[in-house]
Amino acid sequence: MRNIVLFGPPGSGKGTQATNIINKFGFIHLSTGDMLRAEIAGQTKLGLEAKTLMDRGDLVPDEVVIGMIENKLDSNKDAKGFVFDGFPRTVKQAEALDKLLELRTIPILKVLSLKVSEEELTRRILERGKTSGRADDQNEEIVKNRVVEYRTKTAPLANYYAAQHKLAEIAGEGSVDEIFEALCFQINNL
C-alpha cells in the first residue's frame, strides 16, 4: 500500500494535486478539511462545533480529526494507497497517525512537502475565495490566521518526518502540470 502525506500550508495546492494523484493512481483521498465541511453541511453536532473554529481559521481539536481518520482507514481496507491531505497538522496528530498505521502495518512511505511563499498563499486563497464559497477563504485576517496556525503548529512536522527520512520537498510555484510531474516522479519511485 502506497501511503503518502501531501504536506504544505493552506493554498499550497494540496487539494488540487491530491485530485490529480487520485485520478492517476487510484488511491483514496483523505482530506480532513473536506470531512469537516461534510459534517457542517450535514449539520451534525461535530460539524456545528467545528464550524466556529474553522470560520476563525483555528485548528479543530486533535481528537476530532484523529477519530475521523481512524474511521476512514477502517472503511477502506482494500485501498491501494491513501493520500493524506491537510492531516496531520500537529505533532500529536502525526504521532497518532503513526500508531494507527503501525497497528494496521500500512506505513507512510513519503511526505511530499509543497513549498510556496506566504505572499503567494494569501493571494491564491483570496482568489479561490471568489468561487469556493468558503468563508475562511474570503477574509484576509482569517487567511493570515490560518497561515500563522500552519507556521506555529504544522510546519514543525517537517522535522518530525525528516527525522524518519520520509520528507521530500517540491517547489509548489510552477504550473499545476509541472508540480504534478514532480509529485508523480516521487510516487513512481516508492
Q: Which residues are catalytic?
A: 14, 89, 128, 134, 146
| Residue from 21, 30, 54, 83 in contact with ligand AMP (CB under 6 A) | 54
- Does 112 engage in binding with ligand AMP (CB under 6 A)? no
In Å, how far are 33, 55, 76, 98, 118 from 108, measured between CA atoms?
A: 20, 30, 16, 8, 27
Write down the least CB distance from residue 188 to ligand AMP, Å.
Answer: 26
- Does 129 engage in binding with ligand AMP (CB under 6 A)? no
Question: Under a CB-based contact definition with an 8 Å cutoff, are residues 7 and 111 in contact?
Answer: yes
Residue nearest to ligand AMP (CB): 33
Q: Quick one: 58 or 78, whose CB is closer to ligand AMP? A: 58
| Residue from 18, 21, 28, 36 in contact with ligand AMP (CB under 6 A) | 36
| Residue from 3, 12, 32, 113 in contact with ligand AMP (CB under 6 A) | 32
List the beta bridge partners of residue 108.
Answer: 3
- Picking from 58, 62, 85, 88, the residue whose alpha carbon sits closest to that of residue 149 is 58
Q: In 10 A of CB 175, how many CB atoms?
A: 8
Q: Give the three-class secondary structure for 118.
A: helix
How many residues does this entry show for the chain? 190
Q: Quick one: 67 or 190, whose CB is closer to ligand AMP? A: 67
**Which residues bind to ligand AMP, rule: CB under 6 A?**
10, 32-33, 36, 53-54, 57-60, 65, 86-87, 89, 93, 136, 146
